[in-house]
Amino acid sequence: MITPHLDKVMFFFKAEPEGIIVAKDNDEIVGFVIVTVSMNALMKRIMKNGHFLKYMFKLMLGMYGFNIGIVGKIISAIFRLCRKSKNITENIVSDSIIWSLVVKAEKRKQGIGTELIKKACEYIHRQGISEIGIEVSPSNETAISVYKKCGFIKKGILQSNYGLIYMTKKLNDV
Going from the N-terminus, what domains does the chain have, and what CATH number goes with each?
A: 4-170 (3.40.630.30)
Indicate the helix (H) or strand (E) that contains 100: strand 97-103
Mean pLDDT of the chain: 79
* Mean pLDDT, residues 42-52: 72
**The overall pTM is greater than 0.75:** no
Query: Tens digits of per-residue pLDDT, 98-128?
Result: 988 999 999 999 999 999 999 999 999 999 9
* Residues comprising the chain, all counted: 174
Rounded Cα gap, residues 133 and 159, in angstroms: 16
* Pairing of β 153-158 and β 28-36: unpaired
Strands 153-158 and 131-136: unpaired
Q: Is the pLDDT of residue 141 over 80?
A: yes
Please choose, from the candidates 137, 139, 165, 150, the residue with its C-alpha nearest in 3D space to the C-alpha of residue 111: 150
